[in-house]
C-alpha cells in the first residue's frame, strides 16, 4: 500500500508539472552576456600582474586636464567646476605634486605637494598656504578642501599586494555595460581581487580591484577604510601605450564620504623619468596666510577654483 501511495504521489506531481509547463512562457533576460572573447587568469596570475605593473612604474610626469565636482545625496546638490589644465608629478614611495592652471592666462589656481604623510597647498587667489596631514581628521564644509594629494597618488599608482600583511581572495562577477546615455546594455564577465589586510584592530577588507576579462586590464579600484566604508572609488579607462608602459588616459576618483570627484585626462605622460627633490618642494610664499588645517581652531581655506 505504501508503495502504491508513492507511485500515486509521483504521478500527481508529474501531472502538476506538465500542466504548469503548458502555462509557462519564455522571455529573454533584460541584460545578456557580451559575445566578446574572454581571457582567463588565476588568482596568482592577477596578483602577479598587479605587483609587476606596480614595480614597473617609479615616477610619473603628466600634463593633464582636471575636472572636479562636489556634492551628492548628503549635500542635496552637485556643483561642477570648470575644467583646468594641470601637471602631476609622482615619485614612489609617496611623493606627489599637483598644479592647476586657470584657463587662458595659465596662472596658478593651486599648487599642492605631499611627501606621503603631510601635504602643503598654496592658493594664490586666496593668498593662503594650507598645511596638514594626509588624513582628513576634521572634514571641511567645503568638499574640495578635503582633497589630499594621497587620494590622487593612491588612485594613480596601484599599490602592490603584500603577501605578509594582505590576503587576496578572488571572485567572479559581471560588469554592467552602459551606452553613452547611461542605459544598461549588456553584461561582461569580470574578475575581482578582494584584498584582506591586517590592521590595528584585526583583518579588514582593504580594497577591491576589478579586471575586465576582455583584456585583463584593471578598470576599477575601490579602497575601504578600516571601518568598512568606501574611502575611494577609482575608475580607469582608455588604456594607452606610453613607452613600454600601458596606462589609463582617463582616471576618475570619487570620494563618497567627502562627496567630491576629480577626473583626470592625461594629455602627455613620461614614465620613470628622473624627478628631483626640488620638484616636490613648496615653501610658504612671503605674506601668505598660514592655515593649519588639522588644528582644532583652524580657519578653513577656500578651494580657489573658478566655477
Does pLDDT of 142 surpass 70? no
Specify the 3-state DSSP secondary structure of 246: strand
Q: How far is 283 from 305, CA to CA, in rounded Å?
A: 21
DSSP 247-258: EEEEEEEEETTT
User: Per-residue confidence at 8, pLDDT binned at 50, 70, 90?
Assistant: low
More confident residue, 298 or 180: 180
Please report the pLDDT score of residue 299 as a whole number: 47
Does pLDDT of 240 surpass 60? yes
User: Per-residue confidence at 302, pLDDT binned at 50, 70, 90?
Assistant: very low
For the chain, the average pLDDT equals 85
Among the ranges given (82-86, 244-248, 263-267, 300-304), the one the predictor scored with the smallest mean pLDDT: 300-304
Q: How far is 116 from 96, CA to CA, in rounded Å?
A: 8
Please report the pLDDT score of residue 23 as a whole number: 57
Q: Are the CB atoms for 177 and 30 separated by under 8 Å?
A: no
Give the pLDDT confidence of 103-140 residue by residue, as tens digits: 877 889 999 999 988 999 999 988 999 898 887 666 66
Q: Are the CB atoms for 89 and 268 separated by under 8 Å?
A: no
Q: What CATH number should be reported for the domain whose range is 43-292? A: 2.50.20.10
User: Per-residue confidence at 304, pLDDT binned at 50, 70, 90?
Assistant: very low
Q: How far is 228 from 307, CA to CA, in rounded Å?
A: 34
Element (H, E) at 198: strand 184-199
Rounded mean pLDDT, 233-257: 94
Rounded mean pLDDT, 254-271: 93
User: Per-residue confidence at 203, pLDDT binned at 50, 70, 90?
Assistant: very high
Specify the 3-state DSSP secondary structure of 74: coil
Q: Is the C-alpha dihedral spanning 115, 279, 153, 129 positive or negative?
A: positive
Is the pTM higher than 0.75? The answer reads yes
DSSP 71-140: EETTTTEEEEPPPEEEEEEEETTTEEEEEEE-TTT--EEEEEEE-SSEEEEEEGGGTEEEEEESS-SS--
Rounded mean pLDDT, 144-149: 75
Rounded mean pLDDT, 23-34: 65
Grid coordinates given for 205: 577588507
Amino acid at each position: 500500500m505504501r508503495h502504491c501511495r508513492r507511485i500515486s504521489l509521483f504521478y500527481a506531481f508529474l501531472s502538476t508539472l506538465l500542466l504548469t509547463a503548458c502555462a509557462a512562457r519564455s522571455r529573454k533576460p533584460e541584460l545578456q552576456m557580451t559575445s566578446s572573447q574572454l581571457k582567463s587568469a588565476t588568482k596568482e596570475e592577477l596578483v602577479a600582474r598587479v605587483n609587476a605593473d606596480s614595480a614597473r612604474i617609479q615616477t610619473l610626469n603628466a600634463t593633464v586636464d582636471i575636472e572636479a565636482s562636489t556634492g551628492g545625496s548628503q549635500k542635496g546638490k552637485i556643483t561642477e567646476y570648470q575644467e583646468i589644465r594641470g601637471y602631476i608629478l609622482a615619485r614612489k614611495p609617496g611623493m606627489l605634486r599637483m598644479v592647476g592652471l586657470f584657463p587662458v592666462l595659465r596662472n596658478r589656481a593651486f599648487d599642492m605637494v605631499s611627501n606621503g604623510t603631510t601635504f602643503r597647498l598654496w592658493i594664490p587667489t586666496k593668498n593662503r598656504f594650507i598645511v596638514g596631514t594626509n588624513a582628513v581628521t576634521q572634514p571641511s564644509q567645503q568638499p574640495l578642501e578635503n582633497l589630499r594629494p594621497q587620494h590622487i597618488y593612491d588612485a594613480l599608482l596601484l599599490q602592490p599586494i603584500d603577501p605578509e600583511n594582505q590576503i587576496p581572495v578572488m571572485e567572479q562577477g559581471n560588469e554592467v555595460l552602459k551606452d553613452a546615455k547611461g542605459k544598461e546594455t549588456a553584461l561582461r564577465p569580470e574578475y575581482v581581487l578582494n584584498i584582506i589586510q591586517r590592521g590595528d584592530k584585526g583583518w579588514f577588507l582593504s580594497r577591491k580591484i576589478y579586471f575586465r576579462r576582455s583584456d585583463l586590464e584593471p578598470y576599477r579600484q575601490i579602497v575601504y577604510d578600516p571601518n568598512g566604508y568606501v574611502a575611494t572609488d577609482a575608475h580607469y579607462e582608455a588604456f594607452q601605450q606610453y613607452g613600454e608602459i600601458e596606462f589609463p588616459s582617463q582616471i576618475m576618483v570619487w570620494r563618497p564620504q567627502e562627496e567630491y570627484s576629480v577626473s583626470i585626462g592625461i594629455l602627455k605622460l613620461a614614465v620613470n623619468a628622473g624627478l628631483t627633490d626640488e620638484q616636490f618642494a613648496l615653501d610658504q610664499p612671503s605674506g601668505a596666510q598660514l592655515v593649519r588645517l588639522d588644528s582644532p581652531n583652524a580657519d578653513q581655506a577656500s578651494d580657489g577654483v573658478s566655477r
